[in-house]
Structure 1
């Protein structure tokens, strides 16, 4: 049912939006934009409602007949008056894309036909808009007068766009995000005080806005139009946001011109200051033979690097091009693997979990780590700076200003050092502080990490076994260059005789990425043991398989619940353990299900609920392959039950139904009952969990035997 919004709902939100410019951000509003605000406030409420309704539309061209709102008296007459007052204007030849976006596809086809263009109805709408742009570039539309009666162009988009840019900090922000917030579609930080200015001054704001608009405009152009695009690089930037947008548009322009005019492209790339642009300039300049200039630039970067990312590239590129090194640092690190693990190829879809299982079978403790524990550690430890008084500008912000600018340590260096000295004094002190922070801020929107109940196990293990001085040093590096050290962390951590090490897992064909190289190098620099583990595939005869069957109250894991679980564990084809339990689904079992399975409400009334057996199921299946007949059904229900407990459940999967089709093609049916009958497998109580699991285990043996036969023939 469609929700009825309060009268003048959008107008109220627009005034909430304007309130943002009454505080710390007021100095950023220039004279023209301030005049727009004052002129808007001088209108009566009906006119204001109409303007705001139009402002909430996605495109600058609006269809007049669609402004039929009960909250606005005589909307069409008011629209005419606002047009005469300059709030809206007529469509011109240069508004082809805006016009096309506002039109329906059928109206576009009619318009093109009226102007002598027979476009196919099978074309996508964007292709039709491109056709319209071509027509309007060549000649005036023959029905322009009629169009201007139906379509109007917002004449206040420039001041409105500037205000939106100040509020959201980018050009993608729209007024409809307020309603998305109210509907619960978009979560925001409603605890933001909104006393922080987005920019230090009007010049910084206007410069950033100019380059942001130019970047958006360039991306929307077709290839021919990009050739005529010009950028006023004399517009100065006074802040990191402006510099970022300037760098990005110059990079886009440089990339466009590379294949057409290399010197022009290199000039654009050289003007851009981003790591991405500098790397491209160096690579392309080297290709064109400018080796002396490239060598000098690389040496300058190595002497005074702007970031770890750029330094890693410069050192590697210099070594290969000027020191005649044959392989890259990434390749060298991958070749110098510190560990080699032989792993059953059943783990090829979840390599890291396979290595963890391998280590556990060796008696070692291993945990998935990657980025999450590090980012949660960083986010919780510095939460009060990142999301406190100086963190966010508006409630829609997710990334703290200091991380967006990458100047966290520059601004708060001495405070950060004191904070680290206080809370990194011992693992216990830091652990207690992190728990306190997690309790105080649990669930709040942030861009650094995802919330979990409590601290991730990998983070707790890290704190228990790490050298606190090593940890403190690395956290300082994260504060100094979060942009380079926010990801790329090793996949797993291993505890061996109370000694902690990290491992980056690489299967055959995997590559080491530069962000991984940088993070691994910095971790090693701070005293952490970090290795590369190379995985080789083979058939492991001792790989445990757990064959699972469940009975449920219905067929959809999101709505129905488990009533019984049966499991059989096989190692080397031999049964080593079995487990079975009825489960209380905490709801009525439909009669048709009882007729199928024989499981009734009375039978499960005294049975444990899933939460009471979850630990047993976790332990029984740990380090094993999850096998079932139509595995996604059983696995999906088990995973969903764990998710309801806010626990993760992940195992490699093996489907006996799919594998039987491959191993024994051409049978009439591959249902469990039919296959059991065909292969003379005992199935006494079909649709009871343990009996079905035992039958599926026999199918697994058949499949494994068939595979061994095929391998023997190949040898």
Structure 2
């Protein structure tokens, strides 16, 4: 049932938002911001409605002609009163980025047409057009065709944006998130919030806000303004939010200045906090020939690394530039891949799943793991610390602050050590994870995604890997989550004796830095990790399941399956078949009955799809899903599984597409035409198993015609 919001929901939300600043966060307010709150609360309700409506607008400009809301009495008169009181002012005081966000590119071109501009500007980007317009305004005044009387500037915008920054902890937070919450569009975490200030003090809060504003304004600044910013000293920053925005702003400022004033750009990058700026500075200085300074800087990082990511860069750059190593560590790891597997070309849509199936056919157990296994283990192991001790400031927060700013172990080291020390056996650890999953299943978090069989691969890991190795790896994640939140190997393999991880690389794939870091740290913790290169070929032992379905109609979002027929093939031979009618729980149209011969009476006592879904999943597992016009059959079956809240993913092959490639120039590629062309007998056309058998013979012909062709 669709949720409805009350008439003045936006006003209720605004009061809820302002109430946040009646507690600890009040200490972060300056006089201007506190005055805004007090003055707003003193307004009459209709005027509060106008201000709250305006506050919900993304930019500092509003169009007063849009403010005729039925629940606000005499809204235009209310606006006039607010203008007289100073809540709104003329548009001429607007900042460039707010103006750019309000007008379209066509508006800008129309305004610029009024000025005597000789240069060609119609192909300029929007930011460049805004800069050009404001340069003309400075010389000639505002354009006559801009409806200034309609546009109003929210004079309270600086105070509002500062409040939003304090509440959300970033500059992208908007008041419409409250209505999205109430409508059920956005899930929030009310259970993990406490009344606390997001910043340590007002000075750090203001610095963070100023850097956030500067970051948004940067594309609209002039060269003189950027140089002036570059010459300013960097204040002491110890609050994580302020430090994060300073890193981002100063890095972008430095990079932009490199294009116009290289010395100034390098100076900013050298002083800027953060790994990204340090790496950029070292690379640019090396280009300029300042090799001794770069060497010293790299050695300092290697001796005292601030993060795994920067360490990986420094070690590799140092080896290549100062030890004359010709290739990168990433290239070396790919070239020295531990294993090369030949995989059937049909698996190129999901190579990792294809490798998992290959191992299963060779009597080894394998699972897709990637990041989800390690992040699930990390999130559930430390849930009490992440979401109960490191509480969220507001219900809209998703990631705990200590993870967001990479200070998890620094903040909660003793608690983390105590949790890990409790797990003396796999059973004890699994019991803890099960309790956490049972108690918190479905809660919003930014560490992992909830899903069915959440702990399956985690349990395998705990049962077959040394506990100390797992603890060491988790401890590394705690100390540098930013570098180890992703990049983990694709699959986990257990051969009956030992467990290992494998990063799968198909032809043309590259090894990214985050993957290199994760592999090295896993190896450091004592795990066996290898790179597995895949080569494509036509594997005669690759199982195929040729599928045909009959349905009540052509739209899988509405119509349902009435019959499924499947033929399993290995090495060109049929080794198994499967067939069933299904009750679609809807009327079968008469034209469908005439086509297929399947009537409502025939399916009245047939099973529902959900009653035999597991059989279909098992029959097709680790096989290539083949059909004539495969997307039709695959789409219907996948939709039926989705209705059961189950995933169905298989590599696909279409006999229509493959037959066009193998036998070009035929009159028609319909199933009936192809069976007639190749003399394939049809037992009962438009019945699932009969059509599946026919398509299986087409698959054999396709393989015969392509088996001699080399796969590149």
TM-score normalised by the shorter chain: which range applies? over 0.9
Shift of 1:626: 1.0
Paired residue for 1:78? Answer: 78
Change (3 A) 1:203 1:131: closer
1:640-675 Cα shifts (integer Å, max 9, x gaps): 223333333222111011122222333333222222
Q: Which residue of 2 aligns with 1:620?
A: 619
1:143 corresponds in structure 2 to 144
Distance change (3 Å), C-alpha of 1:102 and 1:215: closer
C-alpha distance in 2 between matches for 1:416 and 1:271: 33
2:524 is matched with which residue?
525
> In structure 1, the residue corresponding to 2:388 is in which secondary structure?
coil
- DSSP-derived class of the 2:556 partner: coil
Taking structure 1 as reference, are residues 142 and 623 closer, same or farther at Cα in structure 2, changes over 3 Å only?
closer
2:426 maps to what in 1? 427
Please list, as runs of the form range in 1=range in 2, the aligned pairs for 1:47-446 lying within 5 A after superposition: 47-92=47-92, 95=95, 98-99=98-99, 101-103=101-103, 111-113=111-113, 132-133=133-134, 135-143=136-144, 147-218=147-218, 220-221=219-220, 230=229, 232-422=232-422, 424-446=423-445
Identify the range of structure 1 (36-45 vs 570-579) with the bigger mean alpha-carbon deviation: 570-579
Matched residues in 2 for 1:470 and 1:23: separation? 45
Match of 1:558 in 2: 557
Give yes or no for contact 1:93–1:137 (8 Å, CA) kept in 2.
Answer: no
> Does 1:654 pair with 2:679?
no
Q: CA deviation at 1:609?
A: 2.4
Partner of residue 512, structure 1:
511
Give the distance between the partners of 1:408 and 1:122, measured in 2 at CA. Answer: 48
User: Residues 453-495 of structure 1: CA distance to partner in whole angstroms, max 9, x if unpaired?
Assistant: 2424322211221211211121111111111111111100011
User: 2: CA distance between counterparts of 1:131 and 1:595?
Assistant: 69
Separation in 1, partners of 2:165, 2:240: 15
CA distance in 1, matches of 2:65, 2:295: 64
Question: 1:638 — aligned with what?
Answer: 637
Q: Distance in 2 between matches of 1:250 and 1:588?
A: 65
| 2:447 equivalent to 1:448 | yes
1:438–1:454: 8 Å Cα contact kept in structure 2?
no
Give the C-alpha shift of residue 227 in structure 1. Answer: 5.3
The residue matched to 1:530 in structure 2 has which SS?
A: strand
1:116 deviates by 6.7
Q: What does residue 475 of structure 2 align with?
A: 476
**Contact 2:385/2:415 (CA < 8 Å) preserved in 1?**
no
Q: Is the 8 A contact 2:61 2:94 kept in 1?
A: no
Shift of 1:2: 10
Deviation at 1:537, TM superposition (A): 1.9
Alpha-carbon contact 1:211-1:242 (below 8 Å) kept: yes
Contact kept, 8 Å, 1:115 with 1:141, in 2: the verdict is no
Distance in 2, matches of 1:543 and 1:478, equals 39
Q: 1:465 to 1:643 in 2, by over 3 A?
A: farther
Query: Which is further off, 485-494 or 56-65?
Result: 56-65
Distance across 2 between alignment mates of 1:398 and 1:442 = 15
1:25 alignment partner, SS class: helix
Q: 1:373 to 1:290 in 2, by over 3 A?
A: same
SS of 2:530's equivalent in the other structure is strand
Alignment of 1:589-604 (within 5 A): 589-604=588-603
CA distance in structure 2 between the aligned counterparts of 1:609 and 1:223, rounded to whole angstroms: 68
Question: Shift in Å at residue 96 of structure 1?
Answer: 5.4
Determine if the alignment matches structure 1 residue 684 to structure 2 residue 648: no
Return the offset for 1:202: 1.0
> What stretches of structure 2 of length at least 5 have no aligned partner?
none
In structure 2, the CA distance between the partners of 1:394 and 1:60, relative to structure 1 (3 Å rule), is same
Q: Deviations over 1:410-464 (max 9, x none)?
A: 1111111111111x22111111221211111111111111111242432221122
Residue 452 and residue 433 in structure 1: after superposition, are their counterparts in 2 closer, same or farther (change >3 A)?
same
Partners of 2:106 and 2:338 in 1: how far apart? Answer: 63
Cα deviation for residue 635 of structure 1 reads 1.3
Aligned residues: 710
Q: Report the 3-state secondary structure (helix = DSSP H, G, I; strand = E; otherwise coil) of the residue aligned with 2:531.
A: strand
**CA distance, structure 2, for counterparts of residue 563 and residue 436 of structure 1:** 42
Whether the 8 Å CA contact 1:196–1:390 is kept in 2: the answer is: no
Match of 2:670 in 1: 671
Instruction: Say if 1:153 and 1:228 are closer, same or farther in 2 by CA, change over 3 A.
Output: farther
Deviation by residue 1:549-596 (Cα, 9 ceiling, x = unmatched): 111223233333222111112222222221111123333333333332
Which deviates more from structure 2 when the two are superposed, residues 111-120 or residues 658-667? 111-120
For the 8 Å contact 2:63–2:150, the answer to whether it is kept is yes
Who is 1:611 aligned against? 610
In the alignment, is the contact (CA less than 8 A) between 1:207 and 1:238 conserved in 2?
A: no
Bigger CA drift: 281-290 or 329-338?
329-338
Please list the CA deviations of residues 130-151 of structure 1 after superposition, one character each: whole Å capped at 9, or x if unmatched. 664454244212538x733211
Instruction: Tell me if structure 2 keeps the 8 A contact 1:435–1:454.
Output: no
The two structures have a TM-score, normalised by structure 2, of 0.94
| Counterpart residue number, 1:26 | 26
Contact 1:563/1:585 (8 A) holds in 2: yes
Of the structure 1 ranges 503-512 and 581-590, higher mean CA displacement relative to structure 2 is found in 581-590
Distance 1:107 1:473, change over 3 A: closer
Gaps of 5+ in 1: none
Whole-angstrom CA distance in 1 between matches of 2:223 and 2:689: 67
Partners of 2:4 and 2:183 within 8 A in 1: no
Superposed CA offset, 1:385-427 (max 9, x none): 21224331111111111101211111111111111111x2211
User: RMSD across aligned C-alpha pairs, in angstroms?
Assistant: 2.6
CA distance in 1: counterparts of 2:249 and 2:319, whole angstroms: 30
Shift of 1:3: 7.8
Deviations 1:328-379 (A, max 9, x none): 2212222222222111222122111111111111111111000001111111
Q: Distance in 1 between matches of 2:569 and 2:328?
A: 45
Seen in structure 2, the aligned counterparts of structure 1 residues 111 and 322 have a Cα distance that, compared at 3 Å, is closer
Native 8 Å contact 2:379 2:447 kept in 1:
yes
Asked whether the 8 Å contact 1:207–1:236 carries over to 2, the reply is no
Deviations 1:207-231 (A, max 9, x none): 111111111111x427868756735
User: Which whole-Å CA distance do the structure 2 matches of 1:301 and 1:463 have between them?
Assistant: 34
Provide the TM-score with structure 1 as the length reference.
0.94
Could you list the per-position Cα deviations for residues 310-329 of structure 1 after superposition, in whole angstroms to 9, with x for gaps in the alignment?
A: 11111111112122222222
Worse-superposed segment, 581-590 or 205-214: 581-590
Change over 3 Å in CA distance of 1:410–1:126 after alignment to 2: closer
In structure 2, what is the Cα distance between the partners aligned to 1:626 and 1:668? 26
Q: CA–CA distance in 2 between the matches of 1:129 and 1:185?
A: 35
| Shift, 1:97, TM fit | 5.1
Q: Which segment drifts farther, 411-420 or 587-596?
A: 587-596
